[in-house]
Amino acid sequence: MEEVHGYISGIRPRRAGKALIIEISISTLLGEVIDAVLHDPPDWLEIGSKISCKLERLPGQHGRTITAAYEVKPSSTLPDAGKIELFIETIRETPEGNLIVEGKKSVGGVFSYILKARNADLAGSQLPCKAVALKTSARDIDRIIAVLPHRNYSILKRAHELVVQLKEEEEKRPELDFLPPPL
């Protein structure tokens, strides 16, 4: 069991039987990306949310391990994440497997970011492309947490809305589990 502090960089709703399960990606300030499942996501959880949670690795099917997140709360130790609109023109891979992402900021100016490949969800993107970068500042140092194509960012925002809607519907229907089946 470990405690982790980071930012939500991915949300994927899933159904496991009748239960709603959310797969989340947590990006840390050290550049790590941790994928975990979350049974009952709080309504405030969305892309860019700062999060503090405990992780436990559980045995899954076919010998795989599942990482479960619990005791999820907003992190009080991390700075807030901002969003920057980007226009990505080039992506190059370094010999170490990192990505160099370059282009223009929508507010003016150019950028060149070095990211771990897991922090840049740009596979299959046609260049040039619009993107959103999640950024934080600590001690006057800007850090890019994740870069998502604008289309993916929009989909993840809609996933958050879907999760909230599914939770509301689930709360309205608990009596159905106890009703006898139709004859």
Structure-token pair, residue 160: 């958050």
Q: List, for the chain, all residue ranges whose pLDDT scores fall below the cut of 70.
A: 16-20, 123-125, 173-183
**133: exposed, middle or buried (C-beta count within 10 Å: 0-12, 13-18, 19+)?**
buried
pLDDT at res. 174: 59
Distance CA 152, CA 175 (A): 36
Predicted TM-score (pTM) of the model is 0.75
Using alpha carbons, select from 13, 15, 42, 11 the residue that is nearest to residue 26: 11
Span 101-138, pLDDT tens digits: 999 998 889 999 888 888 887 766 678 889 998 888 87
- Asked, colleague to colleague, whether 2-77 and 82-150 share their fold, the answer is yes
Q: What strand order describes the sheet that includes 82-93?
A: 110-115, 99-105, 82-93, 129-138, 141-149
- The domain spans of the chain are 2-77, 82-150
pLDDT at res. 13: 76
181: CB partners within 8 A, 6+ apart: none
pLDDT at res. 74: 94
- Residue 110 C-beta-side C-alpha neighbours within 13 Å: 6
CATH of domain 2-77: 2.40.50.140
Choose which CATH entry (2.40.50.140, 3.40.605.10, 1.10.10.10, 1.25.50.10) describes domain 82-150.
2.40.50.140
pLDDT at res. 35: 92
pLDDT at res. 32: 87
